[in-house]
């Protein structure tokens, strides 16, 4: 039994932060940001809005588009590194906001690869035969952990949410294969140092700005370029496909140069590569599902198309997945 995606949805906050806005906040420029990252604007939550709020909007759209009653949902998996609270989970908050009475759920922390981790996890629940409707949502409120005086990180990230509904496939469509990995040796290169059990919140951690994202940009970039290209090439070869077979490549949206390098390595033409980093920046666990929903909404992908996804993130984490699109 294969798991397949039967509905997609996204939510982007209304507030827009442009490169020109950032020019007034830190020593940077629109040209510098665009040429090095490909980003022009990113979205930020409104005051009082958090990850569970965005994820709930995605969940509501998924229910509507799939004609599913809230009490038919068996499981909710939320991929996020910015939960509303450490506990209860964001999944619990979404379940409560939906008033979905017959499901259970949990949060999954895989950083930018989180959605692919969650998608693989949800697929296995479907494949077990016990679960029929599993909701997978990637959401991050990155503005809550970004130092807007640090030009190395504040230009990169945005807020957003995206998700899918997984159900048993009625034919041979669905998730074909995945390759997922992790290497904690790279952990200190992209990290939120404070707030956990290692460095609990204190006056000292606040003074040292340990509750903001720290990134060693050069190390992360070097790993990401090779890692995402390798994993994408490997999964195609393992399944006897080439770049010519891929109708759409939906990569994690962290840096356009990384995306371009991966597509070139796999011989995927530019017109078959989804890029929306210019509009939203890096929304961490939300980038791939947002891309999926855009591609479905504008008709870029249709039933029977081969879709390739790939990501990398803090951990280091990485992953790639092949999907034969359709119910």
- Residue 252 annotated to the active site: yes
Nearest to 293 by CA among 307, 282, 278: 307
Please tell me which residue in 112, 173, 255, 266 is annotated as part of the active site: 112
Distance in angstroms (rounded) separating the CA atoms of residues 292 and 58:
13
The CA distance from 242 to 268, in Å, is 8
| Total length of the chain | 327
Tokens of 181: 């990995």
The CA distance from 317 to 183, in Å, is: 6
The answer to whether 239 is a known catalytic residue is: no
Looking at the DSSP bridge assignments, the partners of residue 309 are 250, 321
User: Is there a catalytic annotation at residue 282?
Assistant: yes
| Chain centroid offset of residue 142 CA | 12
CA gap 326, 16 in Å, rounded? 33
Contact yes or no for 9/162 (Cβ under 8 A): yes
Which H or E run contains 244? none
- Distances from the Cα of 237 to the Cα of 278, 294, 301, angstroms: 30, 27, 22
In degrees and rounded to multiples of 5, residue 78 shows phi and psi of -110, 120
C-beta separation of 158 from 43 below 8 A: yes
Find the catalytic residue in 173, 252, 255, 276: 252
Pairing of strands 306-313, 317-324: antiparallel
Active-site residues: which are they? 112, 252, 282
């Amino acid at each position: 039994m294969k798991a397949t995606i039967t509905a997609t949805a996204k939510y982007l906050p209304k507030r827009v932060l442009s490169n020109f806005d950032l020019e007034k906040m830190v020593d940077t420029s629109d040209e510098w940001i665009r040429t090095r990252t490909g980003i022009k604007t990113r979205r930020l939550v409104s005051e009082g809005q958090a990850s569970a709020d965005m994820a709930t909007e995605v969940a509501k759209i998924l229910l509507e588009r799939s004609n599913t009653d809230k009490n038919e949902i068996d499981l909710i998996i939320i991929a996020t590194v910015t939960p509303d609270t450490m506990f209860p989970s964001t999944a619990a908050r979404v379940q409560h906001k939906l008033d979905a009475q017959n499901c259970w759920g949990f949060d999954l922390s895989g950083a930018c690869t989180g959605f692919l981790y969650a998608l693989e996890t949800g697929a296995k629940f479907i494949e077990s035969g016990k679960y029929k409707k599993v909701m997978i949502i990637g959401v991050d409120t990155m503005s809550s952990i970004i130092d807007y005086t640090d030009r190395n990180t504040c230009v990169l990230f945005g807020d957003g949410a995206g998700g899918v509904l997984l159900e048993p496939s009625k034919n041979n469509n669905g998730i074909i294969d995945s390759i997922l990995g992790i290497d904690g040796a790279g952990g200190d290169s992209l990290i939120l140092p404070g707030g956990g059990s290692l460095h609990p919140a204190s006056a000292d951690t606040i003074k040292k700005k340990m509750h903001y994202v720290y990134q060693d940009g050069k190390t992360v970039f070097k790993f990401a370029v090779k890692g995402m290209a390798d994993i994408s090439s490997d999964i195609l070869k393992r399944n006897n496909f080439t770049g010519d077979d891929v109708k759409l490549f939906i990569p994690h949206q962290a840096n356009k140069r990384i995306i371009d390098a991966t597509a070139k390595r796999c011989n995927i033409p530019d017109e078959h590569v989804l890029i929306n980093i210019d509009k939203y920046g890096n929304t961490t666990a939300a980038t791939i599902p947002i891309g999926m929903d855009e591609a479905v909404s504008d008709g870029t992908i249709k039933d029977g198309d081969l879709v390739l996804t790939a990501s990398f993130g803090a951990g280091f984490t990485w992953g790639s997945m092949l999907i034969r699109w359709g119910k």
